[in-house]
Amino acid sequence: MRKQGWIVAALVVAFSLILAAGTPCLAENIYDRVAKTGVVNVGLMYNSIPAAYFNEKNEWVGFDVDIAEEVIKRIGGYMGKTLKVERVKVNNKTRISFLTSGRIDMSTANMTHKRERDRTIDFSITYFFDGEKILAKKGMYKKHEDFLGKKIASMQGTTSEKNAINLLKKLGDPNAEQNVISFQDEPSCFLALKQGKVQGWATDSTILIGYAAKEPGKYELVGDFFSDEPYGMGVPEDQSDWRDAINFALQDMWQDGTYMNIYNKWYGPDTPYYFPMTEKIETWP
């Protein structure tokens, strides 16, 4: 009898070990953790004018900053508590890896929702609608074709880089890959354009409008949009409670007019970054 007891115990231990080894480690539920700790780590850019940048008073401001703060305030409202936003600096290269590593809970970083990116992270509904254009010195170029054989700057790890190469290829440039020069960040692209190292800078139109406004009258956008850039807030994979909360907050902000108030503060006709809103945020009844 005693011997049988030992055998049963040994079998139970062995089965438990096998089960434990075969069960994937369950990721923490971000919504539950935020409800418990009251803290949210939000990834924000710091060189994207006017989405998220440091102004002349060295304050970290912008459309993405305000939208993210409002989303978190609303989620706190759903939870019945005040949440604290921890702002984390991200750039084109870290905004996805910080989500997959758990460093941030959400990234509001002028990031286009691409199917390719959806392989590693999830996205909220689209909260901003942009497209790619080319910025050049004023009066030099009239249309995309004028950039044939010219050099175009773009930021590493962005959709802009690939779109610019595709545009040049479509126009018939045999050296499209070499003629799109990738820089670390937005200020480096702007500087290269300023110094004449490149003749154009290609990225989302609002970023270009933002930098051009630093030196009014000297730069202009050339040609029409050549890509769609729908922005989503990046969230870690498989966090549906958290993603739902973000989506509900965005929709509530749209429905009660808060979204457009923030939009007009940054992109309205009385700003240096005028960019008319032509779309609607998706809402679910």
Residues that bind ligand GLU (CB under 6 A): 92, 110-112, 155, 158-160, 203-204, 229
Q: Which residue, 95 or 243, has its beta carbon nearer to ligand GLU?
A: 95
Q: Which residue, 153 or 155, has its beta carbon nearer to ligand GLU?
A: 155
The DSSP result for the chain, as a single string, is -HHHHHHHHHHHHHHHHHHHHHSPPPPP-HHHHHHHH-EEEEEE-SEETTTEEE-TT--EESHHHHHHHHHHHHHHHHHTSPPEEEEEE--TTHHHHHHHTTS-SEEESS-B--TTGGGTEEEEEEEEEEEEEEEEETTS--SGGGGTTS-EEEETTSHHHHHHHHHHHHHT-TTHHHHEEEESSHHHHHHHHHTTS-SEEEEEHHHHHHHHTTSTTSEEEES---SEEEEEEEEETT-HHHHHHHHHHHHHHHHTTHHHHHHHHHHSTTSTT-----S------
Q: How far is the CB of 70 from ligand GLU (least distance, A)?
A: 21
Token pair listed for 122: 């999830």
Q: Which residue, 45 or 85, has its beta carbon nearer to ligand GLU?
A: 45
Q: How far is the CB of 255 from ligand GLU (least distance, A)?
A: 26
Q: Which residue, 111 or 249, has its beta carbon nearer to ligand GLU?
A: 111
Q: Which residue, 160 or 247, has its beta carbon nearer to ligand GLU?
A: 160
Q: How far is the CB of 252 from ligand GLU (least distance, A)?
A: 25
- Whole-angstrom distance, CA of residue 198 vs CA of residue 183: 11
Residues near 62 by Cβ (< 8 Å), separated by ≥ 6? 44, 48, 49, 50, 51, 52, 53, 266
Q: How far is the CB of 163 from ligand GLU (least distance, A)?
A: 9
Q: Which residue, 67 or 75, has its beta carbon nearer to ligand GLU?
A: 67
Q: How far is the CB of 92 from ligand GLU (least distance, A)?
A: 5
Q: Which residue, 231 or 254, has its beta carbon nearer to ligand GLU?
A: 231
Q: How far is the CB of 111 from ligand GLU (least distance, A)?
A: 4
Q: How far is the CB of 77 from ligand GLU (least distance, A)?
A: 29
Nearest residue to ligand GLU, using CB? 158
